[in-house]
Amino acid sequence: MNYTVFSGYTIGQSHVKADMGCEDFADHYVDPEGRYVISVICDGHSDPKCFRSAKGAGLGCNAAIKILKNLFEVYCEERKEDAPERFFSKKEETMTRLKAGILQEWNRTVREDLQRNPIEEEEYASLDTPQYRDAMRYYQSGKGLNNIYGATLLAAAACEDFHLALQIGDGIVVRLEGDGIYTVPLEDDDKNEIEGPASLCDFDLLSRKKGFRMDIFPGRPQAMFAVSDGVGDTPITAGLKETFFLFHKGLAEHGDVEVQEGVLGLNAEQQKWLNEFLSYYSKRGSQDDCSLSGFADLTLPVAEVRLSQEEIDRMYRELEKERQRRTERYEEIRNRLLAAQKKNENEIGDLQMQIEELKRNISSLEAKLGEKKDMAKGRLLTVRM
């Protein structure tokens, strides 16, 4: 395989301002023999009730890499001519085992961490408020303690015969199939986002249809990227595809002059490019923590983003809807202004009529006042005579 593998994460400006630590984590694994690659990220929940989510994110990455390594090791060691056919005949069973294995491993390491590092009273400080006091008492009773490690999970992996993607919660896994075609290999989660994203600590991940999303595909793509929602989320847009294209192109341009084959890590310039990419997104938009992990075949040309006709048609429909929305808004505002102008003109006419009426009244009063003055003067003359 000719993959360059990478991972990185950085703290978001919103966390810096709130004096919080980085709760994202990213990692990757490269088989020493170059038979397979694994990329994984976890995003801690930034929730006072999940006050060890940064550690939970690290444990999630470790659990995913460990279980996926086991899968690829067994497959590669037993690989024969009919290996892909035999493997895909048991795909559903394999995915069920992988999901259960990752969750079991994460929960096991969480329990071990709790045993080594019991919760201290200072950690409960953020929960000592009316809003979170029930959660604090729940934890203090020894229940639901894996919740404090809550984090999302995304991973991508590949060998010569197949590649896979898995996801719990938000963020996005994107696949570059080649020739500029970017796709999202996994379905969206149906969970109501008002409740927050799905998490490694959820109890219903295996029973809920899209709680733990995963799929395995034949062949290997040109590249795969897994990012937290600080960088991108579903549904994927043309703009987000362009983002991945620019990142991929930057990796290629900062690579070695001569194309090298085999599984590689980033050189110094490529690592700088990755860090700058994450830093840019951590300072814009939601200013959330940002993480990215993936792999790309840099021996292949980086083609411009190519949109399907369906995507182009959808963009035109969205643009037309936006044009109509803005046209309706313009007409609404214009009609309001015209109505206000007409109302003002009528009010001005009424005021002018009132002013004229007041002028006439004042003239009449002045005339009457003059007459009274004349009458008073006449009386005064009569008295003096």
pLDDT in tens, 283-340: 987 789 999 999 999 999 999 999 877 777 776 787 788 888 888 888 888 888 888 8
Boundaries of domain holding 153: 4-306
Domain limit, last residue, from 291, 306, 321 = 306
With a cut of 70, list the residues of the chain below it in pLDDT. 191-195, 257-261, 315, 372-385
Query: Within this chain, do residues 240 and 136 fall inside the same structural domain, yes or no?
Result: yes
Number of domains within the chain: 2
**Could you tell me if 145 and 286 lie in one domain?**
yes
Cα angle vertex 28, ends 27, 34, to 5°?
170
Question: For residue 203, what are the CA distances in angstroms to 198, 200, 298, 308, 347?
Answer: 10, 8, 40, 38, 67
Residues 263 and 114 in one domain: yes
pLDDT for res 383: 45
Give the model's pLDDT for residue 257.
47
d(CA 25, CA 2): 25
**pLDDT for the residue 347:** 84
Task: Compute how many other C-beta atoms are within 10 angstroms of the C-beta atom of residue 77.
Answer: 8
**Which of these three, 306, 335, 351, is where a domain ends?**
306
Q: What is the pLDDT of residue 379?
A: 55
Domain co-membership, 266 together with 250: yes
296 and 369 both lie in a single domain = no
User: Are both 102 and 24 inside the same structural domain?
Assistant: yes
Q: Do 186 and 153 have their domain in common?
A: yes
Last residue of a domain, one of 271, 306, 341: 306
Tell me what the pLDDT averaged over the chain comes to.
89
Question: Do 302 and 248 meet the contact criterion of CB atoms below 8 Å apart?
Answer: yes
Q: Residues 279, 328: one domain?
A: no
Same domain flag for 226 and 356? no
Tokens standing for 321?
């809807």
What does the pLDDT read at residue 358?
85
pLDDT value of position 373? 66
Secondary structure (3-state) at 117: coil
What pLDDT is attached to residue 290?
95
Name the token pair of 183: 């796709």
**In 190-325, where do the E strands start and end?**
213-218, 223-227, 290-296
